[in-house]
Amino acid sequence: GLPLVAIIGRPNVGKSTLFNRLIGQRRAIVGDEPGITRDRIYGEAEWAGRRFAVVDTGGIVPDDDAVIPANIFKQADVAINEADALVWVVDVRAGVTPLDEELARLLRATGKPVFVAANKADAQRVDAEALEFTRFGFEQVFPVSAEQGLGTGELLDALIARL
């Protein structure tokens, strides 16, 4: 089958928005309420002639602060296990949160390539905020705006090079 990319992250960071952007259609449900994506949703994407599958490991999570990270990870576990590469979505506006720290540990433990999508970088001045996420030592941190389609090309270039 196609190589699989899993989109991981805490609630409300823009996973589904990025997923929709990557597959080029509005398949995932995007909402202001954290955890609005109820299930894993699969789609197909193509970049530079390379086709791959994408899974939006979603919500199911009722409330961001109340949730233990292991729960999020457990929900995403199946997808993560079958994925060839992981896109970890974080929110540059919120910065690094304790849940991000915990997720970073869990993602690192997979040993898979992790690409950090520092989302909600809607303007160039917030690109610097993305640097905060380099501390986790993953492949590369890409400032993106899933909503506006900024920076996703660079992310995809790097991604397909590892698939």
Binding site residues, ligand GDP, CB under 6 A: 9, 11-17, 30-32, 34, 36-37, 58-59, 119-120, 122, 145-147
Q: Tell me 150's DSSP state.
A: B
Q: Does 152 bind Mg ion (CB under 5 A)?
A: no
Task: Quote the tokens at residue 11.
Answer: 């609630």
* For ligand GDP, the closer CB: 63 or 161: 63
Angle at 53 between CA 150 and CA 69, to 5 degrees: 75
- CB-CB neighbours of 65 under 10 Å: 10
Is 98 annotated to bind a ligand? Reply is no
> Least Å distance between CB 9 and ligand GDP?
6
Task: Say if residues 20 and 62 touch (Cβ distance below 8 Å).
Answer: no
Among the candidate windows 35-43, 68-76, 115-123, 131-139, which touches Mg ion by CB under 5 A? 35-43
DSSP state of 127: G
Q: Does 58 bind Mg ion (CB under 5 A)?
A: yes
119 binds, among ligand GDP, Mg ion, none (CB under 5 to 8 A by kind): ligand GDP
Measured in degrees and rounded to the nearest 5, phi and psi for residue 27 equal -95, -45
Q: How far is the CB of 49 from ligand GDP (least distance, A)?
A: 26
The correct pick among 4, 6, 8, 16 for binding Mg ion (CB under 5 A) is 16
Q: Alpha-carbon distance 140 to 37, whole Å?
A: 26
60 is in an annotated binding site: yes
Q: Are strands 41-47 and 50-56 parallel, antiparallel or unpaired?
A: antiparallel
Binding residues for GTP: 9-16, 56-60, 119-122
